[in-house]
Amino acid sequence: LLLSGEAPAFSAGLNLVEVAALDRAGAERFLDVLCRFIDTLYRYPAPTVALVNGHAIAGGCVVAMACDFRIAAPASGPNAPRMGLNEVALGLRFPPAILDLVRRRVPPQHLETVVLGAGLFPPTEALSLGLLDAVRDDAQEHARAALATLAAHPASAYAAAKRALRPPLAGSAAEHADFADGGLESWVSPELKARIAALLGPKK
């Protein structure tokens, strides 16, 4: 499975207009679908490669992180594609299953930089933080070659090894209780709706 996007984004993340319209019950359903989708992609029993051909922000970065191999082309300057988890900057709490993925996929020495810093990084810096596995000029060709290499392994052995390495995304019981107690509220708070309105409003 090769995942890619349409320029200028691999995936710019969740639809903020939709997020801003959610009430608590809607947010609960929305995040349940999101977590089940990411878990399905993370544990997909065949090779998955993310060709990160543009911005991969928040939920978009999570989609890329769920793949077996992630690659982007080099880019620099103010218009370079950015990748990162900016949930904290928006005032959002991570659902436990998504935070479980982040802990598994971001190297421990970079975890706090990525999560607490909430930055968006150009490809080379994303590589150094463990958000990407490769940055190459021939990103598209290399993505297809990487996928072909992984797909050449016996399918049943690949699926079994992946299943053993990747138990379902969950998070602890304490994290679920904490998210139900206050985390879910962060997805429907007036403060979040105001931030989204400011982000989506006309630029001066």
Residue 203 confidence (pLDDT): 61
| Mean pLDDT of the 79-98 span | 95
The CA–CA distances, whole Å, from 116 to 97, 109, 120 equal: 17, 13, 12
Identify the residue with better confidence: 2 or 204. 2
pLDDT above 70 for 99: yes
Identify the residue with better confidence: 186 or 200. 186
- The amino acid present at 90, given as its one-letter code, is L
Q: Going by C-beta distance under 8 Å and a sequence separation of 6 or more, which residues neighbour residue 35?
A: 95, 97, 98, 169
pLDDT band with cut points at 50, 70 and 90 for residue 202: confident
Identify the residue with better confidence: 112 or 7. 112
Residue 204 confidence (pLDDT): 54
